Structures are given as C-alpha cells and as structure tokens.
Amino acid sequence: MNIKTKTYDINPKVVSTANLYGYPLPSGDWKEGILSKTMKDLSDNPDLSPKWIVLDGDLDTNWIESMNSVMDNNKLLTLANGDRIKLKDHMWMLFEIRDLIYASAATVSRAGILYYSDDKGDQWRSFIKTWLKKQSINWAKIIEAAKSQKKGKADKTIIEYLE
C-alpha cells in the first residue's frame, strides 16, 4: 500500500498569536489564522492519508497554552469565536522547539518529548543504527567482518563512527 504523507510547516513565532489562531474583524466577521485555517482545511478534507502539522519555532506562552486542549484526549482547538476544530485520527501535530522554558506544567504533561542533543553528535549515530537494524541485510555480520579486516589508523570507516 502506497500512502502519501503530507506535512504542513508553520513557524508560530513569525506571526502574532491573533494571526496564528484568528481574530474578530471590526465588521464582526472572523478572520481565520494560519493554524486554524490549516487545521480546518485538513479536518474538512475527505482524504484520510496521514497529515502532519509541524509547528517549528521557539515556544512561548502566547501561542502554546492554546494548544493544551489539542494535546489532551479531546484533540480540540477552541478558538476565541467559539469554533472548535477537531484534530482527527489521521492528523498529528509535531512541535519542533529548542527548549521548554516557557511551557507550563500543563503543557509539558500533555507532550511526548524527544530530546536530541548536538553536543556529541550521537543522534545521527542512533538514527543510522536504528536504520541498519531494520534492513533485511545482516549488517552486524558485515560490520564484524569489516572490523576484523581493519588495518592502520588511516582506515577511517563508518564502523568507527557506529561504535
């Protein structure tokens, strides 16, 4: 089965919170925000292929607190005009942030957190090891054979990086 996954990248820090979620116009009409419009469009779309909304930008209390109801079991974004947008089963959100300094305990308790550090460069080694384990080729035997044939310090191979 060939299912295409779609991603929608939004940086919540490049727009105001009003422009992210929406705001009332002087006429009384509602102006959709970037995130609310994206979520509505995806929620209303009959295509059930996987969809990821990636919020890639520094976290701050102005925009993250409104996401708490999306991150709990309700999976609902409630807007200031009373509209409620459901994050459906084929929709996911990913928050790519630098730190949690401005996150409340309520936000942190709802999030699944993965931390990747660039300090030693271990994260890419972990990705490679995981990928190798999923391959049909028995890389462990190949790596062991390559280790036994290594000669001299000029022989800098991927095996040294994977150890």
Grouping H, G, I as helix, E, B as strand and the rest as coil, residue 58 is coil
Mean pLDDT within 110-127: 69
Nearest to 57 by CA among 112, 109, 15: 15
Q: What's the CATH fold of domain 6-110?
A: Rossmann fold (3.40.50)
More confident residue, 39 or 128: 39
Q: How far are the Cα atoms of 17, 23, 31, 35 from residue 26, in angstroms, in the given order? A: 18, 10, 10, 21
Opening angle at CA 6, ends 108 and 126, nearest 5 = 60
Beta-carbon count within 10 A of 143 CB: 16
Answer whether 0.85 is exceeded by the pTM. Answer: no
Start-end of CATH 3.40.50.300 domains in the chain: 6-110
Strands 76-78 and 91-96: unpaired
Q: For residues 57 and 55, give the distance between their C-alpha atoms in angstroms, rounded to a whole number.
A: 6
And the tokens for 5?
């996954």
Q: For residues 5 and 109, give the distance between their C-alpha atoms in angstroms, rounded to a whole number.
A: 28
Q: 41-91: per-residue pLDDT in tens?
A: 999 999 999 999 999 888 888 888 888 889 988 999 999 999 999 999 999
Q: For residues 85 and 93, give the distance between their C-alpha atoms in angstroms, rounded to a whole number.
A: 13
Asked whether residue 150 carries a pLDDT value surpassing 70, the answer given is: no
